[in-house]
């Protein structure tokens, strides 16, 4: 099972991905988490991306695709993968098609969590306050930038997936449990 969770920062992708990892032993491929880990460990990649992450802009497609390819290979034996925060550009979406073909994998589900734009800033700032993990990009100026970048660079991939796949839109304003139930139903129906 390979599934993509699409949606803006703060829509609940991470929360839902963690739930699917627990329930189905899928692997969460969160590029944001991978990049933050690289920054924390001060790796070569971490040094390259640190300032980009703090600015709210996107990391180069080429670097992201390289990281993703390594992770696809490393997780080949997992029963499923959840793409969380990837792809984020049309280039990444096209490259993912090529990668999946190369490693004899296919995309089973594409899910978009639809959330009211006005509530995103509030949601992210609330999450930041409650979370133990402090992020450099969780202040209101950078969050606004991240939302702007999402609308400009990532939103077009919703059309890409609607035309190529059956895009499942879920109302992300529902409770976490309701969203989880809907996602799990979609997964069960694929089995």
Contact (Cβ atoms closer than 8 angstroms) between residue 32 and residue 88: no
Long-range contacts of 40-47 (CB under 8 A, 24+ apart): none
Which is closer to ligand AMP, CB of 26 or CB of 86?
A: 86
Which is closer to ligand AMP, CB of 137 or CB of 187?
A: 137
Q: With 0-12 CB in 10 A as exposed, 13-18 as middle and 19+ as buried, what is 42?
A: exposed
Report the residue closest to ligand AMP, judged by CB.
Answer: 32
Number of residues in contact with ligand AMP under rule CB under 6 A: 17
Site residues for ligand AMP, 7-36, by CB under 6 A, read 9, 31-32, 35
Contact (Cβ atoms closer than 8 angstroms) between residue 6 and residue 113: yes
The Cα–Cα gap between 16 and 159 comes to 22
Q: Closest separation between CB of residue 69 and ligand AMP, Å?
A: 13
- Determine the interface stretch with ligand AMP among 55-63, 110-118, 158-166, 173-181 (rule: CB under 6 A): 55-63
Is 88 a known active-site residue? Answer: yes
Contact (Cβ atoms closer than 8 angstroms) between residue 123 and residue 8: no
The Cα–Cα gap between 36 and 54 comes to 10
Site string for ligand AMP, 79-118 (x = CB under 6 A): ------xx-x---x--------------------------
Count the neighbouring beta carbons within 10 Å of the beta carbon of residue 140.
12
Tell me the CA distances in angstroms from 152 to 1, 16, 158, 159, one per residue in order.
29, 24, 12, 13
User: Of 50, 57, 78, 135, which is the active-site residue?
Assistant: 135
Establish if 53 lies at the interface with ligand AMP (CB under 6 A).
yes
Q: Closest separation between CB of residue 139 and ligand AMP, Å?
A: 13
Residues acting as catalytic residues = 13, 88, 127, 135, 146
Return residues touching ligand AMP (CB under 6 A). 9, 31-32, 35, 52-53, 56-59, 64, 85-86, 88, 92, 137, 146
């Amino acid at each position: 099972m390979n599934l993509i969770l699409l949606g803006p920062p703060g829509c609940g992708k991470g929360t839902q991905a963690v739930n699917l990892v627990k329930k189905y032993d899928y692997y969460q491929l969160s590029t944001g988490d991978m990049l933050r880990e690289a920054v924390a460990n001060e790796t070569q990649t971490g040094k390259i991306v640190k300032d980009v992450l703090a600015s709210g802009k996107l990391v180069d497609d080429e670097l992201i695709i390289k990281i993703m390819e390594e992770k696809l290979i490393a997780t080949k034996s997992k029963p499923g993968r959840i793409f969380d925060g990837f792809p984020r550009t049309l280039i990444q979406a096209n490259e993912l098609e090529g990668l999946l073909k190369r490693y004899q994998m296919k995309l089973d589900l594409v899910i978009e969590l639809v959330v009211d734009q006005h509530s995103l800033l509030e949601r992210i700032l609330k999450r930041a306050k409650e979370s133990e993990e402090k992020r450099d990009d969780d202040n209101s100026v950078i969050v606004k930038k991240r939302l702007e970048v999402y609308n400009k660079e990532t939103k077009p991939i919703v059309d890409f997936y609607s035309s190529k796949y059956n895009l499942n839109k879920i109302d992300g304003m529902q409770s976490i449990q309701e969203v989880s139930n809907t996602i799990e139903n979609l997964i069960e129906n694929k089995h």
